[in-house]
Amino acid sequence: MVYSYYPGCTLKTKAKDLDRYAKECAKALGFELEEIENWQCCGGVYPLGTDEIASKLSSVRALNEAKVKGQDLVTVCSACHHVIKRTNDDMKNVEDIRTRANNYMELEEPYAGETTVLHYLEVLRDRVGFDVLKEKVVKPLGRKIGAYYGCLLLRPSKIVQFDNPENPTIIEDFIKAIGGEPVIYPYRNECCGGYVSLKEKEMAGKMVDRIMDSAAGMGAEELITACPLCMYNLNKSESANKLPVYYFTELLAEALGLKEEV
Amino acid sequence: MQRVGVFVCHCGSNIAATVDVKKVVEMVSLEPGVVHAEDYQYMCSEAGQARIDAAIKEKGLTGIVVCSCSPRMHEATFRKAAERAGLNPYMVEIANIREHCSWIHKDMEEATKKAVVLARAAIAKVNLNAPLQPGESLVTKRALVIGGGIAGIQTAIDIADAGYEVDIVEKTPSIGGRMSQLDKTFPTLDCSACILTPKMVEAAAHEKITIYTYSEVDKVTGFVGDFTVDIRKKARSIDMNKCTGCGVCQEKCPSKKTPSEFNRGLNTRSAIYTPFAQAIPNVPVIDRDACIKFKTGKCGICEKVCQAGAIDYEQKDEIVTQKYGAIVVATGFDVIKVDQYEEYAYSQSKDVITSLELERIMNAAGPTKGHLERLSDGKHPKEMVFIQCVGSRCSDDKGKSYCSKICCMYTAKHAMLIRDKYPDVNVTVFYIDVRTPGKNFDEFYRRAVEDYGVNYIKGQVGKVAPQPDGSLLVQGVDLIDNKQILKKADMVVLAAAIEPEKDVRRIATMLTASIDTNNFLTESHAKLRPVESPTAGVFLSGVCQGPKDIPETVAQAGAAAVKAIGLLAKDKLLTNPCTAKADELMCNGCSTCANVCPYGAITYETKEINDHGIRETRRVASVNNALCQGCGACTVACPSGAMDLQGFSNRQILAEVDAICR
């Protein structure tokens, strides 16, 4: 199975591990990620202004590219996934945005939300299957791992339709599949502070400390995330309970024997 | 041609503010057949009806059209007025220029035009009306009450006390309903069981009341005064005549792991069980899904220990068919599933419970024998937080749009009882509004705040986070202080919204009783007929109609009983003459009409027909007027145009359409 792949900027700079292991693991699991040519930055934040159209166009280009190839579009970064998934929903359901974006793009055939957008974790869950993944694991991790979802993967739940936003299970199921022991802690779906960390360092610091304290208190030894921004913020934590944070693809690679050691 | 009179009502300003009534009078006067037209402020009033009376007599009217509100509101009023003046009541037509016109339009000119068109259609129809005579049907002097909670029990007792036979059908093994699960009742704090169980006993002992527990209504046919109902008595696996209720079988039953429905799953019960000690009847049932004998064929301990020989593994469901004149729906409610509100961690922590679960915990016969303790570790809590409006008053489609009405009061009750019994426990209540309309209700709530020191915080809770030490961190907001609150609690209690019992949609469908988007049964008129369903002969008792507390439920139960008694007291009912009629000359006996008839009112007979001088024997449709409800399905289905609805004939309806399109 070949998927169109949208890596996003951070995966080419700060979060190279997220990208590299995603692609390597895909091969090991029997699917391929074909990077879209000339993809552009998703903008990093879904634009809430209803009259804002320019910042949605890069997502529409990527979506249309996948449509032309007849492939589903896979993302790894939570923020890119969030922006592209929501833009796709706009193209499907919001007539005004669809019309204006198509007028601007002048595509051969107008784009109307036909592409299916999948997060890498959804590919593992729904296409590969966690049971199949489990069979391919050569080095079960055996560690206590806390899933850190953050907000962008889960919300708004009606549009992203990723998992139950208040009690998600997909990353826990992933952790089980790679032989780890998931640790449930209540702040796993709470915001890390996002871009607030640029302006209000103290507030963002409190938010990540609370996440760390909660995860460590419930017995987690490490955290995994799909989001480079969450990773950045969590690593800034000054909590005495600070845990190491990894991208989920790193641990996937480790479990599949594609990586020596974390 | 009829001599038609048209009466245009202002309905105060309801119609006249949007429709130029004088113009309507002027325009309809020009219609064929109209010999009289006038307008009046309130046509339904005594003075208005007197005008109709006078016009009929003076002008020799043979048909009238009233341009007013919906026929559902006042058709009967105007038919009676016409009848008093010597006119056949079916020579009255209503043009609905209120709900269908003035209430939904703003532009006077357009609304006036539409009112004229609606009036024209009614005039065209009344020109083709023929006098109709209602038939009669007998009333079966027996009532069915569906649901054996406090609503059903009270309705049954009231009907039975008036001297009529009543059957209660209850789907669980005992009557008692939700009220039997409650510990104490507001605002007087009397024990629920102490006031309910005597009522249960009274119903069971009443010579006019028959109780079918562990039974369901399977099928309903017929109509007001003459319903036929199939009641399925589910196999109890116990001979009710032999069982003495000694309880030994329940003690000895080795399968004890089924969550107790009565205790909301907080503890377990045996496979052979009565839901609670005061159950009526005091006869257990075997839960065949849990019973080892039914699952594996082995065991049979209950049969061995039963001195009375009452255990009957072979028992089968039994259908009882009974006729009723009136049916009262009293199916009650359940609380919503709160696991869709994961932010409150209900499914993640045993110490987050619903208020109904707290009732069981506070009850001396409950799973903790009435001791307030955490279900996770059995420890006595020091801090309790109550969260109001969980799933009530929601603007999203996850919850209910309505206020569940009882939660403010029972939360105040819980808070007060806990502070009274355990002064060491701090109680905090998060609320949106505190709603306490009701006799002695606000005084009750203020006692909780002022005398018992319950801490009320106006604001909602965003998250309940289970902590590593086993406590719960409640994250909320205080809207009055405008600050975020982080509060450590040992237990959190959710005031979950209430919703109609799941079965109600199935029952409403069988009764053709209408139901709203929230699955509450609709009353015939929100203000003036609140305990009657729009379906004749069906009455509503308790929460199946809308959220209510116990006093309101009991009051409504009595009201429903009175309405049912009013029906049962009659020997005969007039039947609707607007029934289908087959034209034997045109009928080809194809059976299409019989196939679409939802009431089984059409049969076929073979008879000799004189078809324009040619005598031949044919198979033709015949309508039973007592069964026909006048729905008109057959008239549409009939391929040869032989079927017609009296009072709504194809000719009349097409005349209306023509008048509208003219």
Residue A29 lies in a domain: yes
Residue of A nearest to B397 (CA): A158
pLDDT tens digits, B120-138: 999 999 999 999 999 888 9
Same domain? A101 vs A191: no
Question: Residue A33 above 90 pLDDT?
Answer: yes
* Residue B625 confidence (pLDDT): 84
Measured from the Cβ of residue A134, the count of other Cβ atoms closer than 10 Å reads 15
Same domain? A87 vs A162: no
Q: Determine the Cα–Cα distance for residues B532 and B361; give it in Å rounded to an integer.
A: 37
* Residue B611 confidence (pLDDT): 83
How much is the average pLDDT of A46-61? 89
How much is the average pLDDT of A198-227? 95
* Residue B397 confidence (pLDDT): 79
Question: Residue B612 above 90 pLDDT?
Answer: no
Q: Work out how many CB contacts closer than 8 A connect A with B.
A: 27
User: Residue B60 corresponds to which tokens in the numbers above?
Assistant: 């020799």
Closest CA to A7 of A73, A89, A88, A85: A73
Q: Fold match between B142-234+317-332+501-568 and B335-499?
A: yes
Please name the CATH architecture into which domain B142-234+317-332+501-568 falls.
Answer: 3-Layer(bba) Sandwich (3.50)
Segments in B479-602 forming alpha helices (H) = 504-511, 550-568, 592-596
Question: Residue A261 above 60 pLDDT?
Answer: no
How high is the ipTM of this complex?
Answer: 0.87
Option in B342, B465, B473 nearest A167 (CB): B342
3-class SS of residue B143: strand
How much is the average pLDDT of A60-80? 96
pLDDT tens digits, B214-260: 999 999 988 899 999 999 999 999 999 999 999 999 999 999 999 99
Q: Determine the Cα–Cα distance for residues B197 and B566; give it in Å rounded to an integer.
A: 28
Same domain? A164 vs A112: no
Residue A10 lies in a domain: yes
Pairing of strands A144-147, A117-119: unpaired
How much is the average pLDDT of A209-220? 96
CB contact under 8 A, A187 and B465: yes
> Taking the alpha carbons of B294, B300, B306, B308 in that order, is the dihedral positive or negative?
positive
Cα distances from B33 to residues B6, B22, B352, in angstroms, run 10, 19, 73
Closest CA to A61 of A107, A30, A17, A96: A107
CB contact under 8 A, B465 and A167: no
* Residue B599 confidence (pLDDT): 79
Region of poorest pLDDT, from B264-273, B286-295, B612-621: B612-621
Same domain? A93 vs A140: no
Task: Give chain B's radius of gyration (CA, Å).
Answer: 31
CB contact under 8 A, B342 and A187: no
Same domain? A142 vs A89: no
How much is the average pLDDT of B104-131? 96
CB contact under 8 A, B343 and A166: yes
**CATH label, B580-646, candidates 2.10.70.10, 3.40.30.10, 3.30.420.40, 3.30.70.3270:** 3.30.70.3270
Same domain? A96 vs A189: no
- Rounded-to-5 percentages of helix, strand, coil across chain B: 30, 25, 45
Pairing of strands B498-500, B580-582: unpaired
The yes or no reply on domain B335-499 and CATH 3.40.630.10 is no
Chain B residues lying within 8 Å of A155, measured CB to CB: none
pLDDT bucket at A262, cuts 50 / 70 / 90 = very low
Pairing of strands B602-611, B383-390: unpaired
pLDDT bucket at A48, cuts 50 / 70 / 90 = confident
Asked if residue B204 lies in contact with residue B182, where contact means CB atoms within 8 angstroms, the answer is no
CB contact under 8 A, A167 and B347: yes
Q: Determine the Cα–Cα distance for residues A253 and A219; give it in Å rounded to an integer.
A: 24
User: Residue B450 corresponds to which tokens in the numbers above?
Assistant: 């002022």
Residue A262 lies in a domain: no
How much is the average pLDDT of A230-249? 95
pLDDT tens digits, B335-360: 999 988 999 999 999 999 999 999 99
Task: Give chain A's radius of gyration (CA, Å).
Answer: 18
Q: What's the structural domain count of chain A?
A: 2
DSSP string, B80-118: HHHHHTT--GGGEEEEE-IIIIITT---HHHHHHHHHHH
Question: Residue B613 above 90 pLDDT?
Answer: no
Question: Residue A177 above 70 pLDDT?
Answer: yes
How much is the average pLDDT of B593-611? 88
A169 CB near a chain B CB, below 8 Å?
no
Option in A166, A186, A219 nearest B466 (CB): A186
Distance from the A20 Cα atom to the nearest Cα atom in chain B, whole angstroms: 35
Query: What is the percent of chain B where pLDDT is above 70?
Result: 100
CATH number at residue A150: 3.40.50.1860
Same domain? A36 vs A107: yes
Domain residue limits at A84? 2-120
Q: Determine the Cα–Cα distance for residues B392 and B548; give it in Å rounded to an integer.
A: 14
Q: What per-residue string of b and e applies to B319-328 under the rule 16 or more CB within 10 Å gives b? A: eeebebbbbb
Question: Residue B614 above 90 pLDDT?
Answer: no
Tokens 């049907």 map to which residue? B137
* Residue B417 confidence (pLDDT): 97
Closest CA to B224 of B139, B147, B320, B323: B139
Option in B342, B345, B467 nearest A217 (CB): B467
Same domain? A99 vs A175: no
**CATH label, B4-126, candidates 3.40.630, 1.10.1740, 1.20.1070, 3.40.50:** 3.40.50
pLDDT bucket at A260, cuts 50 / 70 / 90 = low
Distance from the B89 Cα atom to the nearest Cα atom in chain A, whole angstroms: 54
CATH number at residue A116: 1.20.1050.140
Which A residues, 207 through 246, put their C-beta within 8 Å of a C-beta on chain B?
214, 217-219
CB contact under 8 A, B467 and A184: no
Question: Residue A145 above 70 pLDDT?
Answer: yes
A186 CB near a chain B CB, below 8 Å?
yes
Same domain? A110 vs A202: no
pLDDT tens digits, B138-197: 999 999 999 999 999 999 999 999 999 999 999 999 999 999 999 999 999 999 999 999
pLDDT tens digits, B57-90: 999 999 999 999 999 889 999 999 999 999 999 9
A167 CB near a chain B CB, below 8 Å?
yes
Residue A128 lies in a domain: no
Same domain? A155 vs A73: no
Asked if residue A6 lies in contact with residue A39, where contact means CB atoms within 8 angstroms, the answer is yes
Same domain? A141 vs A185: yes
Which B residues, 373 through 392, put their C-beta within 8 Å of a C-beta on chain A?
none
* Residue B153 confidence (pLDDT): 98
What are the two backbone dihedrals, phi and then psi, of residue B196, each rounded to the nearest 5 degrees? -85, -45
Domain boundaries, chain B: 4-126, 142-234+317-332+501-568, 248-305, 335-499, 580-646
Measured from the Cβ of residue A42, the count of other Cβ atoms closer than 10 Å reads 24
Pairing of strands B4-9, B63-68: parallel
- Average pLDDT of chain B to the nearest whole number: 95
Question: What strands lie across the sheet with B215-223, from one edge to the other?
Answer: B215-223, B226-233, B318-324
Rounded to two decimals, the pTM is 0.86
* Residue A165 confidence (pLDDT): 93
pLDDT tens digits, A86-102: 999 999 999 999 999 99
Cβ-based burial of B12 (10 A; exposed 0-12, middle 13-18, buried ≥19): exposed
Same domain? A107 vs A185: no
* Residue B135 confidence (pLDDT): 87
Give every CB contact of residue B442 below 8 A, 6+ residues apart in sequence.
B436
